[in-house]
Structure 1
Amino acid sequence: VHHSTYQRALEGISRSLAKELGARGTTVNLVKLPTNVELPNYKTVEEFFTSCRSAFITGQALIANEAVKSGRELSEKICVVTGGAGLIGSATVQRLAAEGATVVIVDIPQMESRADALVGNNISFIGGDLTNESDRKNLLEEIRSKHGRIDVLINNAGILRDRMLMNMTEQEWDDVIKVHLKGTFAPTHHAVQLWRAKNKETGEPVNGRVINTSSVSGLFGNTGQTNYGAAKAGIAAFTIIAARELARMGVTVNAISPSAVTRMTEDLRERTEQERAAGDPKWIAPVATYLASAEASDITGRIFHAGGGNFSVMEGWHHGPNCAPYADPVELGPVLRKMAKEARRNADMMGNDLD
């Protein structure tokens, strides 16, 4: 009786803590050990609940009577993370490494000091500017010579040059477009060349992964970010099209649209403790890590929104109200106005309809 009472109490405490600590990014679960449980069975449960695969499981009570598959599914994978020394990048790098991957951080040389804390064992750093052709060739060749291949490419490099359109300079526009769009295209193009050669040689799917970084600014639109929003919307379209083109080789292409505090945004305004917890980059890392795994081989061409207290998949552009075409603008006018009024509103930065 006492044992049963204690068990119920532990379940109640675990569920209460899960609710209290969930907003701070902490999961709480209870594992029950039968008297005949073997230690290896418990060990695999422990590995599962400390891996990214359990990031969205909380408040549960489970019995460790069967072995759970280990989360270390990336132990033979070479993962390249551009912009890997930033807050989102470093969280992803650490999660990939924890799952057993060999991770190469690619970032500008000025970020090497930030990457020093990460480097070691299965994490390395290569400095270079992906938008510079010479730098790009050198760093990509270094990756090829050291590791021989790329299994997973996470395009995460980015900058901000926020300004209202009327005040934005052409240089501010060009810088953002170059870093985000060319910085996504160039390493992806290089990885695809390697994968195509392997596919032709073996005739087998290469199981490559590309994970891009979009933004709610590109999907929903944010005032003062025409350059950034255009670039991130372009990355979303790039993701969808590349997924279709590369599917025949066994390559998946997805994107993550983070709502997270980054080094680019942390000083823009003061945030509450709850906002900081919801915007912790650690909510992004599990999504990237799962998409890099073999289990995600059937997921491609999708953009996932993660962070800010939300995890969802975007549904893209679809036809709304429509009609047959009109040759006369005068006749078209009333119909166009009616359709515009009936159409679903654009979204705010939370993905909800604007008022």
Structure 2
Amino acid sequence: MSSNDFHDTAAQDLAIAEHGTLGWDAMDQALEKVYGKQQPAHFGTLIKFRMGGDDPLDGISVYRSDQGQPHWHYVTYGFSDLYGDLDDSHDVAPDKPSGYGFELTFRLACAGDEQQPPNWPLHFLQNIARYVFRTGNVFAPGHWMTANGPIAADTDTLLTEMGFVQDPELPPIHTPFGDLMFLQLVGLTADELREVRRWNVQGALQAMEAHMPLWVADLARPSLHDLPDVQAAINAGAARDGSKTGVLYSDVLGFESRKRLLRSPQSVVRLGSLAVRDLKAMLPARLPHGRSLILAGDGATLEFVSSRDERSGQLQTLGAYEFKLGLSDAQLQSWLQTLKAREGEYTVPGLDGLVWQVKASVITDSEGRVTGKYEE
């Protein structure tokens, strides 16, 4: 379904005349089971997206909750089929999604005397909707995404990343126009996301929930990744299940052949220090479980795979900018022990003919300004 599906004003007006707001009503009924007769603050879109407006969502409701810790509970209206205008067949067979098949929720901590929910999550959720409507890429439990800066603009919060899980208080529902899930967006720190990627979003968030009830976003909270119980749970989960993250991105990735006098040339692999840090965390959670890990950046890719044949330790060229490296268990351990996330050249015992050239990764702020370099 493309964003064009949401621009046909006549089709939607006809659908509302025929079916009313049955999709919207089904959502309200689900929320009434949690909040009773509480009247939420509702923020509707003045100029509908289908009429050329900038906001894809028809509205966002915000409830006050005292569960866990006092917080605002934001719920979107518009990713799903609210009026029956997105599918002419009106086929409501089992497992048919309503619209994109989900609505987003977000929980934000509030002070006890706070009377009105902050506006910034409204813009935040609309921005995510623009991404979905523009690309057609949808979210599901277990997905994660970076916000490329604080989730609340112009704040010094550590929450710069997002994970997605099923809302713990709102089970999936069946509407007259299909099924939908309430998908909660959870604010994470960069350190927490690295831990999440070593295992999986849902497992890691379960490990953090004791310190973050209902996964309420608190802009002032510290990172949870170093807490002993969280670290132990993620370490155990990653060792048992492996990681579901198959691709990493690097600010630096390059390859060249280096000639040597009277000896065969060396293959030089150039990496950023951040990529080395992430590879050292991720390779043990992928290769021993029979899963490859792709490093991508600068128009090139390097795929790491577990290997026990004669090609182990040899850099294979798959295309002009595509390479593959098979590592045995011993070679993987040697690589992990040798490389450091700081500038320098490293040769790994057991990987003859390969040189690993590490460059310090540049760190930028949310506006792209260079703030420093990363090294261990």
| TM-score (norm: length of structure 2) | 0.27
Higher strand share: 2
User: Highest Rg: 1 or 2?
Assistant: 2
Higher helix share: 1
| TM-score (norm: length of structure 1) | 0.28
